[in-house]
Amino acid sequence: MNLQDKVAVVTGASSGIGLELARALTSEGARVFGLSRSTDKLQQIRQELGDGFHPVTCDVRDENAVKTAFDQVLREGGRLDVLINNAGLGKFGPITEFSVADWDVLMETNLRGIFLCTRAAVPQMKKQNAESGFGGHIINIASIAGLVGNPNLSAYNASKFGVRGFSEAAMKELRNDGIKVTAVYPGSVDTNFGRHSGGQGIGSRNAMTPQDIASTILHILKTDDNYLISEIVMRPLRPRG
């Protein structure tokens, strides 16, 4: 896909991998609608990136908020070529000490949010496929924790294994509609999330950078329309330095 003038939605765009994705996509000439609950941070990013970045305050757990956000994207952008489901959070602890409230907010953010945003994006992408033969590309940011279970990460593992299952099913369901679905499984990344997860089995002293992840996703997006990378795993070569 040539990203010039394409319309992209990035959730969790106010920091970390989401912010670097917004930077990378706007540098390629895409119009990026960045979704986040952090209105102030989104406005600061708008000042940095200029007219190519469109701030959209949205809690991806909220069905009505997601509908409103995607209505805005289609009203202002006129189309939707890329959806990157990046918003997520981590809560860790032993099963016996893990609260129902923490379980619910983690599942609602990491899994329900991906479902709601994907459901909102697919009708427009199907319409574009009918018009031009290609609908668009959905990328779901999972985690190594969606491939391997870890002690004290049972809830986080469950949410990310769920992302894997949802992504594989969506890929098979949507490929004949000209819609690519790719699941991305990063290992340790040097973000606030990664730094605050130390000791939980997913952090490392020598982590990858958000720029590493963004550049790989950019490569995936720029592949030929008939070329699908359905899954990709990324790890630091020497996690302990």
Which CATH superfamily groups domain 7-234? NAD(P)-binding Rossmann-like Domain (3.40.50.720)
Angstrom distance (rounded) from CA 170 to CA 23: 27
pLDDT (tens place) for every residue of the chain, 241 residues total: 999 999 999 999 999 999 999 999 999 999 999 999 999 999 999 999 999 999 999 999 999 999 999 999 999 999 999 999 999 999 999 999 999 999 999 999 999 999 999 999 999 999 999 999 999 999 999 999 999 999 999 999 999 999 999 999 999 999 999 999 999 999 989 876 644 444 444 567 789 999 999 999 999 999 999 999 999 999 999 988 7
Report the half-sphere exposure of 151 (CA within 13 A, side-chain side): 1
Q: Which of 70, 156, 185, 193 is catalytic?
A: 156
Structure tokens at 158: 């469950």
Q: Is residue 227 among the annotated active site residues?
A: no
Q: What is the pTM of this model?
A: 0.94
Packing angle of the helix pair 16-27, 210-221 (nearest 10 deg): 50
d(CA 118, CA 86): 12
